[in-house]
Chain A
Amino acid sequence: MENRPLEYDYTVAKMFMLTTIALGIVGMLIGVILAFELAFPGINTILGSGLAEFTNFSRLRPLHTDSVIFGFTVSGIFATWYYVGQRVLKVSMAESSLLMFLGKLQFWLYVITVAAVVVSLLAGETTSKEYAEFEWPIDIAIVVVWVLFGVNMFGLIGLRREKSLYISVWYYIATFLGIAMLYLFNNMEVPTWLATSAAGETHIGDWFHSVSMYAGTNDALVQWWYGHNAVAFGFTVPIVAMIYYFLPKESGQAIYSYKLSLLSFWGLMFVYLWAGGHHLLYSTVPDWVQTMGSIFSVVLILPSWGSAINMLLTMKGEWQQVAASPLIKFMVLGSTFYMFSTLEGPIQAIKSVNAIAHFTDWIVGHVHDGVLGWVGFMIMAALYHMAPRVFKREIYSKSLMASQFWIQTLGVVLYFTSMWIAGITQGMMWRAHDEFGNLAYSFIDTVTVLHPYYAIRGVGGLLYLTGFLMFAYNIYKTMTAGKRLDSEPANASPMGA
């Protein structure tokens, strides 16, 4: 090697930044289409009845959930790991050609897998398990991508100069282990190529098709142990990893209490795994599983708020920074939305509340105040912080970022408020009955009443998507036209007007 000073190498981080943005656009665009399809059903067949198969709600819905989860969010996790990991471990990817090779391999395999997912879901190939729709060949590819991620993570940890693992690294490790365990157990499936179906269901017998190894109540239990912890290890743990690095770094403030961060970490790890039963209240799973799910959900407020309050207190006495920097605004509002959805979730997990909330739009509202306000905001903030360091250029526009912040905040607020009203209205109408026990309303009555709220949600989603496109443009301009920087900014990211 020539005599250049050692530098961090962001090649792989950059690649995943690209997929974060691209798949974010795809996923959110489909989300907006779905939202308008619910409000205006005509859109389901907008391209004519010949193509209706590809444009209807049920075909597109898994494409939305999977591209925002496994596309946008997981790419964001990879991108930030390949950035934060090197820095807090004080080791460069450039120091190991093996790790560099594996990182790139992971990226390309990931891209191929994503393509396979998009094609198969559009074609309607699915195992019919929510968030686990992929057929077995794709599952195997996903496992390989994940293993490569793990090899890289532990490889980098093995080469580190800093012996102590920063709290973010703990959270990234937990993400890796958690998802590995959940994904493997929930996707245990039996290929159907030897079987025939008397009922003649489509695809039974196709080589790529499979059915879950579990049946009935067991399947539901495993599925929601998975589903809930996918929220834990996909939408919470890695995002907490990000905020523990990016908020202190961007603001120049040390974490308020490191002890509190350790306590919250172990609390979260222990409590989350037992809360999945709250997705199955009033179902056929044993009563004690449901009660346990409710109780652990309420306990979960503590470790969740532990991290969130720790982050807000990190900004203690520094609120002028929140006012001045749109980048810090994203993170502070993100952790506020995190507190919000982790208060809302436990409330919905109480049995009597769940009796109203389950199956309604209130759940969808809960999902999106978490994913839009917390996951989306935090991933965008992370990429904004990384951009000047990775491209060695100033962020293209501060005013664009500030407008984006307000547009998206309005979008999130419209989304969850409309869904609250819609959900609670729906839940109350379904239950209403007269003195003889006859239902007071039929299903279509609720559909009619909900129409305006569905339209408002569509508008909220459109605003959020608009903001995301502004984000993509801002990053693109940073990459190509931002003012060049001679040295790496220490804290606050430099931004053009």
Chain B
Amino acid sequence: MFSVEFQAYGYFAVTVFMTVALYAYIYHLYKNRKDADGHDYEEYSNMALHDGIEDTPVNSLPKDDKK
């Protein structure tokens, strides 16, 4: 019986942990609004629309094009 009880506590703890982690992530996204590179997350939402090879990247990586 010990193991069943242990399962129940474990289960409860994991559920609480996951719920907290999920809400913390949501809070983090909406609070900071920007990612580590300083871009608002929503700036990425039109990346599919500016996907030509000559379009300016949202966040460029310098690349020496050998011609």
Tell me the bound Cα distance from A51 to B65 in angstroms.
60
CB-based contact A167/B61 at 8 Å: no
Distance between Cα atoms of A261 and B45 in the complex (Å) = 9
Q: Contact flags (1/0) for A63-94 with B, using CB distance below 8 Å?
A: 00000000000000000000000011011100
* Identity of the chain B residue whose Cβ is nearest the Cβ of A491 in the assembled complex: B49
**Docked complex Cα distance between A252 and B48 (Å):** 9
Which among A3, A166, A488 has the greatest number of chain B C-beta atoms within 10 A?
Answer: A166
Residues of A within 8 A of B43 (CB): 258
Q: How many A-B residue pairs have CB under 8 A?
A: 92
A8 to B53, CA, bound (A): 7
Chain B contacts for A163, CB-based, 8 A: 37, 57-61
Interface residues on chain B, size class: 20 to 34
Q: For A258, give its contact among B45, B51, B55, B65 (CB under 8 Å).
A: B45
Mask: chain B, 33-61; 1 = CB below 8 Å from A; 0 = not: 00001010111111111011111011111
Chain B residue numbers with a CB within 8 Å of A168 are 48
What A residues does B49 contact at CB under 8 A?
A: 248-249, 252, 254, 491
User: Do the beta carbons of B48 and A88 come within 8 Å of each other?
Assistant: yes
Compute how far the CA of A245 lies from the CA of B46 in the bound complex, rounded to whole angstroms: 10
Q: Which 6 A-B pairs have the closest CB atoms?
A: A254-B46, A255-B45, A162-B57, A87-B51, A163-B59, A258-B45
Chain A residues close to B by CB (< 8 Å): 1, 3, 5-8, 87-88, 90-92, 159-164, 166-168, 244-246, 248-249, 252, 254-259, 261-263, 266-267, 270, 288, 488, 491
Known pairs A87-B48, A255-B48 / 5 extra A-B pairs, C-beta < 8 Å: A160-B61, A161-B57, A163-B58, A166-B48, A262-B29
Binding site for A on B (CB under 8 A): 7, 18, 22, 25-26, 29-30, 37, 39, 41-49, 51-55, 57-61, 63, 65, 67
19 A-B pairs (CB sep. < 8 Å)? A7-B53, A8-B53, A88-B48, A162-B47, A162-B59, A162-B61, A163-B60, A163-B61, A164-B37, A166-B48, A167-B44, A168-B48, A248-B45, A249-B51, A257-B42, A258-B41, A259-B29, A261-B45, A288-B7
